[in-house]
Amino acid sequence: MQKVIITGGTGYIGSHTVVEFQNAGFEVVVIDNLSNSIIEVLDGIEKITGIRPIFYQVDVTEQKDLEIVFQKHGDAVAIIHFAAYKAVGESVQEPLKYYHNNIQGLLNVLSNMLKYDIPNLVFSSSCTVYGQPDKLPVTEDTPVVKPESPYGNTKKINEEIIDDTINSSENLCAISLRYFNPIGAHTSAYIGELPLGVPDNLLPYITQTAIGLRKELSVFGDNYNTPDGTAIRDYINVCDLAKAHVFAVKRLLNNVLKYEIFNIGTGKGSSVMEIIKAFETSTGQKLNYKIVDRRAGDIEQVWADTSKANKVLGWKAEVSLDETVKSAWEWEKKVKRD
């Protein structure tokens, strides 16, 4: 059985990715410091797949602790590196925290990969590296700009660090996946998104409003240059997104190219109002919302050209927006908040 190491494997995207690797017949080792997730996520994974992944509560910025895991699992064929901070607003307030955690974490992962001869890396990047592009949809050749936030900048810098490291090494190969907006939960509702405190992102805010935890959703701006005036994103089902990592590892195992980048989205943009409507229609829940000012730093619209991932990786988003939004609601109804 081939083994993969998944850092950040109890997080939102990480946990869904563990499930997909287990379903594809890989042995999975999870590394997570539980700073933004809980250990019970492993129970959810086990309920879905029948397999509990090997788990280490380790902070990827702690090189000595991380090395112990790599020493033990030097036979892994690939690392999928998620462990990072991701709150855009917080990164503006505390940039050094973000630069330290997100960059030092990657540096430690890469140096251990070199030392223990683990050849393949899948890195979780973001469409934030494109900023507000002039032309839509964005392809992987759309110019990368200086991102709006330190969080976004860590993604850009990390892509460059990976590129440089690969160029200097004979064996190392990598794929960076630029995610658009992941939403939804596993259809079993055993795992899903678990934001700590008040959610920043649209879907968890919607589901928490519908369940009564929040009074109403604020729609940030209705005067954008879009058909209904609200901002447009490419919302991708989290299980579809997770599957893209399995396709990426399989491609790396075929030793085709040293470093590649893929957009991971649906290829379709939806406005905030369209998401609200999709939520109301697919769940039968009426949502309280009001229009407020634009949120600082938000871009107007972005969605992916996914033809490279479709053709080269052989991966395609499959789950509909309605099903995805419904899965987020099913998860919200099951989450216990003690």
Looking up tokens 């509560």 gives 57
Residue 259 engages ligand UD1 in binding (rule: CB under 6 A): no
User: Could you say which of 34, 54, 299, 335 contacts ligand UD1 (CB under 6 A)?
Assistant: 299
CB 321 within 8 A of CB 183: no
- Other CB atoms within 10 Å distance of the CB of residue 315: 23
Nearer to ligand UD1, 128 or 266 (CB): 128
Question: Is 151 among the residues known to form the active site?
Answer: yes
User: Could you say which of 55, 205, 247, 331 contacts ligand UD1 (CB under 6 A)?
Assistant: 205
CA distance 228 to 120: 43
Radius of gyration for the alpha carbons in the chain, expressed in angstroms and rounded: 19
Residue 152 engages ligand UD1 in binding (rule: CB under 6 A): yes
Nearer to ligand UD1, 163 or 298 (CB): 298
Residue 200 engages ligand UD1 in binding (rule: CB under 6 A): yes
Q: How far is the CB of 270 from ligand UD1 (least distance, A)?
A: 10
**Contact residues for 256 (Cβ-Cβ < 8 A; gap 6+):** none
User: Could you say which of 7, 15, 128, 327 contacts ligand UD1 (CB under 6 A)?
Assistant: 128
Give the DSSP letter string of 67-125.
Answer: HHHHHHTTT-SEEEE--S---HHHHHH-HHHHIIIIIHHHHHHHHHHHHHT--EEEEEE
CA distance 70 to 50: 25
Looking up tokens 């939403």 gives 183
Alpha carbon 175 to its chain centroid, in Å, reads 14
Residue 178 engages ligand UD1 in binding (rule: CB under 6 A): no
**H/E element holding 69?**
helix 63-72
Which range in 101-109, 147-155, 162-170, 323-331 contacts ligand UD1 by CB under 6 A? 147-155
Query: Comparing C-alpha atoms, which of 266, 309, 308, 263 is closest to residue 133?
Result: 263
Nearer to ligand UD1, 17 or 126 (CB): 126
User: Could you say which of 5, 88, 236, 249 contacts ligand UD1 (CB under 6 A)?
Assistant: 88
CA distance 125 to 178: 5
Residue 136 engages ligand UD1 in binding (rule: CB under 6 A): no
CA distance 271 to 288: 17
Residue 166 engages ligand UD1 in binding (rule: CB under 6 A): no
Residue 264 engages ligand UD1 in binding (rule: CB under 6 A): no
**Token digits of residue 158:** 């990390």
Query: Comparing C-alpha atoms, which of 100, 87, 154 is closest to residue 124?
Result: 154
User: Could you say which of 28, 217, 304, 317 contacts ligand UD1 (CB under 6 A)?
Assistant: 217
**Contact residues for 93 (Cβ-Cβ < 8 A; gap 6+):** none
Q: How many residues bind ligand UD1 (CB under 6 A)?
A: 22
Which range in 2-10, 61-69, 215-223, 314-322 contacts ligand UD1 by CB under 6 A? 215-223
Count of helices and strands (H, E) across the chain: 12, 13
Question: Which is the catalytic residue, given 151, 179, 190, 205?
Answer: 151
User: Could you say which of 17, 91, 126, 266 contacts ligand UD1 (CB under 6 A)?
Assistant: 126
Residue 202 engages ligand UD1 in binding (rule: CB under 6 A): yes
Site for ligand UD1 in 222-241 (CB under 6 A): 231, 233
Q: How far is the CB of 211 from ligand UD1 (least distance, A)?
A: 15
Interface residues toward ligand UD1, by CB under 6 A: 86, 88, 126, 128, 148-149, 152, 181, 200-202, 205, 217-220, 231, 233, 272, 295, 298-299
Which sequence positions are flagged as catalytic? Answer: 151
